[in-house]
Structure 1
Amino acid sequence: GDDFVSDAGYNNMASASKNLKIESNLQNTAMISYMGRINYAFKDRYLLTLTGRSDGYSAFSVNNRYAFFPSVAGAWVISKEGNVQDYFDLLKLRVSYGKNGNQAVSPYQTYDRLTNVDYIYGLDPVKGLVMNFNGRGSNPTWETTASLNLGLDFGILKNRISGTVDYYSSKTSDLLLSEQVPVMNGYNTILTNIGETSNKGIEVTLNAIPVKNDNFQWNVNTTFAYNNNKITKLRADGKNDLTNAWLIGKPIRIFYDYKVIGVWQEGEDIANSYQPKAKPGDAKLADLNNDGKIDASDRTMMGNKISPYTLGIGNDFTYKNFSLSIFMNGAFGGTKIDDFKNIERFLPNNGANYLADMPYWTPERTNTDIPSPGYTPVNNHTYYINSSYWRIRDFSLGYTFDGDFLKRLNLSSIKAFINARNLYTFSKIKGYNVEALSVSSTTGNPTTTNIASPYPVARTFSLGVNVQF
């Protein structure tokens, strides 16, 4: 440090107004890519695209630096064939297949490296270097995803009904993951290519004009998506990775935990308890393998962190000079951590009593699934809640003035409107933003999966007038 407030300050480095820290770091990486594309079209009916891309990344070992990723896409505009256009304004079939790669490898991660270490030589502390071998033997290569997409675009009745339907299926192989190895190697993990995942789904967009006349028009826009991802292969030994909650045949991002089926009650219920040291008011865990005890083998999938279903519906109405717009959306099938039932986290603290209105278990109040105050999970479990929701997201009502009124004011248009956002949400989760979900930029895993951490969604109203001269 430098510039201490007094001569005695050197004993406390934090008292220096200037904190000096010397560090050094140098990392060099290089990536080179080549890409070629051929497009072909015949009578605007038959379309073909061929693409080839070659990538090289210096962080891989010499023999694995380069990879080639081809793709092919084709389309057939059926509505331009014969008399098909008499029935369809647009009918187009699309298909594509291709590969792409992921090079999620840090610089020098595939090489043996020297690491600083402090040790005692004789009676003196010494700084030395040791070899870090966690790059040896794994020899990782590019993670590859092969994707197939089938699509259909359509429009009928002068495009009063139109939309798209897409089906996709992808398989990711040679996943770049850190695998735990015996500590006798001198390191805990090694980067390697292990496992495969599949990702399938469907996306649908539908636009329609159910009513259209001189005074009234109604437009509908709908989007729907379903995604199903799962791990199809993991390690060479075929076992699950319970540490990371990676289970073969299950989605990639899940909760893996004990299942709470109620609260232990006084009397015969607690007398027949299979949980050691359980007492009335404690959480009752499910003995899933029926072996008369609770252990790690009783854990199971408690839910998907990512909702597999999403839906959005927009309606726009116009009647003479009035306009009304309503947009609603939702997600279904997801799960979040229910922190409100983790009662041991809400004991009175700093004068605040978080338990005042919580219906926790007492001998007089037994019809509840919230354990008694002070309960500490013996098996370190938590609680979960269905995070499905349906939200009235946007509401807008307006009126556009016209005629002599505008001429007298020498204006081209005036529109008055009232808008409302986040009007109401239908969900089991109350008071917090059910949509809140932060995702790690490095792992892709959700980092905000509990309902007590995000702020509530603000419900906003606005009034306004839009004037054009």
Structure 2
Amino acid sequence: MYNDDGTLTQHPMYSEQLWTNPLLPTTLNPERRQFNISLNGYADLNFGELYKPLEGLKYKLNAGYTYVPGRTNEYEGESVYNFAGMGRITNSESQSYTVENILTYNKDFGKHHLDFTGLYASKSKYWQQAIATGEVFPNDALEWGNLGAAATQKVSSQADLYRSISQMGRLNYSYDSRYLFTVTARRDGASIFGRNNKYGMFPSAAVAWNIHNEWFMNSTKDVVDNLKWRISYGISGNEAIGIYETLSLMDASTIAMKGLSNTALNIRKRMGNDDLEWEKTKGFNTGIDFGLFKSRISGSIDVYKTNSYDILLKQRLPRLTGFEDVYFNIGKVANTGIDLTLNTKNIVKNDFTWSSTVVFSRNKNKIVEVYGDGKEDLGNRWLIGHPLGIIYDFTKVGIWQEEEIKAGANKGWDEQAEAGSVKLADLNGDGLINEDDRSVLGQTAPKWTAGLTNTFSYKAFSLNIFINTVQGALRNNPQIGSAADEMGRKSTPAELGYWTPENKSNEWRSLSNRSNVYGYGFPSNASFTRLKDVTLSYNMPQNTLNKLGINGATVYVSGRNLYTWTNWIGWDPEARDITRGSDNAHLNYPMVRTYVLGVNLTF
């Protein structure tokens, strides 16, 4: 890692020029400054206090403003073997405000209750960034302090603006705390949509019946504490895209013409769409809330069915159009599912209690329609009757062995195979391995999730243990499929084997670059169960705290992501392999195991 003079080496691995010393950035001294200024206020007006007949009518104004300026100064010089020198100053700021006007009215007459809420709100966020860069400095003395001394100078800037308006009216009615009715109408507008469809209308209605308040439930009061049935139907909207995604954008670049430097505008690869509108979901939900045996057992069960339409999806385009993709409102997706919550008080004693909470969620979604003509989009992996996120790939049946290659078992089937290559199934039986041999292997979203929380308390001590599980998810495993550097050399976890002439594995391929010429993604089961959180706390005696002038003090120790049970090979089944930036840098970072020791004080 170090040269003879104690400085850091540039390339610590002998003859290796691809990877520089990872400690080199520790020699830099960038400055980063950011401030967050937030102003929030409200005003209330009670009309009933001004004029008695208007009793129950109130108005509230909420307003907030946030200003976040930031600055970053950076310089790279000889300490990181950049002998030309590079300095950069980045200035950015964001300004956002929110204004809410809320009008409410409440009225009780006999067993009837009526309340109304009206909302008119607006939101805005402006962001800008300016970057000044200088390269090739005479020395490193001033670092970023004099970018004008650089032989090459470059300035760039960006800015964007987002605005939205929301209008909502909601009416609630109840009779004798038994029958409840709600109707809501909401209208939202967002600047990110096409010029022709900025606004969307989203109505909903719900009814509920407090069954436990009925006369025929009187005989069950000792058993049933709460029993409510709910049903609702409505339409909700989703923005689902970023700022300016509806526009055909252009980039500026410099070109030389006739000995002069000229600015050229280049169309970006995404086509604009002025007709983009809100993604919408029609949803039906029915559920039951219950409480039994003086709330020793309580919970809720919800069953829902939703149909999403006008879905905002990025559609690939033929290259001959000059564009790569465009956002469209296309397709319909149906979701059905169930959500369950169960709370139990298992033991309730004077000094000891034990309570549990179980949550369970299962969702099934499928594409109902893509373009409205019954046709699928194989290129985007949108297949009717299947989930929106699927693994559509070949089926691996083993590894090609030397004996099979010598015997010509791959002839007319997999001509590109060599010993140690992945052996794929010829599903359509045409004697070839091609795109027609792909099939749906699974879905990327979990089929069901669940969680279990147990809370134990003994006198002043409390222990909370939370375990969650995610089941039925399938993910391509980058550790198996593409863990290689620029030279194609594999770098895999220790538990992964690999084929060699001496180790004739039928599970793991060889380290050859030709061992996976068809691009098989190595989909793997990403299900797991995790000990998510364990917290032990102690409430200090109040008598001692009173003498110190403290109202309350709790000492606690907690651990998160302590252990994971999974068959996933790699760092973590929840880790994501992300491609970032123009250099296609891969980020793959696992869940962090965290330990915290803390004290909560109340004065």
Q: TM-score, normalised by structure 1?
A: 0.78
Q: Describe the shift of the 1:19–1:50 C-alpha distance in structure 2 as closer, same or farther (beyond 3 A).
A: farther
Equivalent in 385, 394, 400 of residue 264 of structure 1: 400
The equivalences for 1:396-407 within 5 A come to: 396=535
Partner of 2:437: 298
SS at match of 1:341: helix
Equivalent in 175, 185, 196 of residue 311 of structure 2: 175
C-alpha offsets along residues 248-296 of structure 1, whole Å, 9 cap, x if unaligned? 2222122222222211123247632221121221111121222221101
Distance 1:385 1:218 in 2: 38
C-alpha offsets along residues 223-272 of structure 1, whole Å, 9 cap, x if unaligned? 11111122111124433333332222222122222222211123247632
Partner of 2:478: 339
Partner of 2:453: 314
Distance 1:121 1:420 in 2: 63
Partner of 1:395: 534
Distance 2:483 2:193 in 1: 47
SS at match of 1:267: helix
Distance 1:176 1:74 in 2: 31
Partner of 2:588: 453
Equivalent in 79, 93, 115 of residue 212 of structure 2: 79
Residue 44 of structure 1 and its aligned partner are, at CA, apart by 1.4
Residue 104 of structure 1 and its aligned partner are, at CA, apart by 5.0
Equivalent in 431, 452, 468 of residue 329 of structure 1: 468
Give yes or no for the alignment of 1:254 onto 2:390: yes
Distance 1:459 1:24 in 2: 38
Distance 2:314 2:425 in 1: 32
Partner of 2:232: 96
SS at match of 1:370: coil
Distance 1:135 1:466 in 2: 52
Partner of 2:103: none
Distance 1:401 1:126 in 2: 73
For 2:588, give the aligned amino acid: S
SS at match of 2:231: strand
SS at match of 2:588: coil
Distance 2:231 2:380 in 1: 36
Partner of 1:68: 201
Partner of 1:208: 344
Partner of 1:443: none
Partner of 2:564: 425
Q: Describe the shift of the 1:3–1:223 C-alpha distance in structure 2 as closer, same or farther (beyond 3 A).
A: closer
Structure 1 residue runs without a partner (length 5+): 7-13, 441-446
Distance 1:435 1:287 in 2: 32
Residue 200 of structure 1 and its aligned partner are, at CA, apart by 2.0
Equivalent in 168, 172, 179 of residue 35 of structure 1: 168
SS at match of 2:388: coil
Partner of 1:9: none
For 1:454, give the aligned amino acid: Y
Contact 1:310 1:331 in 2 (8 A): yes
Distance 1:153 1:130 in 2: 58
Partner of 1:54: 187
Contact 1:348 1:355 in 2 (8 A): no
C-alpha offsets along residues 85-133 of structure 1, whole Å, 9 cap, x if unaligned? 5231000111111112234567776677888799999999976779999
Distance 2:551 2:266 in 1: 78
Distance 1:456 1:107 in 2: 30
Contact 1:343 1:375 in 2 (8 A): no
Q: Which moved more, 1:453-462 or 1:196-205?
A: 453-462
Residue 72 of structure 1 and its aligned partner are, at CA, apart by 0.6
Distance 1:324 1:355 in 2: 36
Partner of 2:502: 364
Partner of 1:277: 416
Distance 2:554 2:243 in 1: 58
Partner of 1:234: 370
Structure 2 residue runs without a partner (length 5+): 1-132, 139-146
Residue 342 of structure 1 and its aligned partner are, at CA, apart by 3.0
Question: Alignment length, in residue pairs?
Answer: 452
Identity among equivalent pairs (%) = 35
Distance 2:602 2:254 in 1: 74
Partner of 2:295: 159
Contact 2:574 2:591 in 1 (8 A): no
Contact 1:346 1:355 in 2 (8 A): no
Name the structure where strand makes up a greater proportion of residues.
Answer: 2
C-alpha offsets along residues 364-396 of structure 1, whole Å, 9 cap, x if unaligned? 322441111214321122212211111223334
Distance 2:248 2:385 in 1: 35
Q: Describe the shift of the 1:95–1:356 C-alpha distance in structure 2 as closer, same or farther (beyond 3 A).
A: closer
Partner of 1:224: 360
Distance 1:304 1:347 in 2: 30
For 1:217, give the aligned amino acid: T
Structure showing greater relative contact order (alpha-carbon pairs closer than 8 Å, 6 or more residues apart): 1
Partner of 2:512: 374
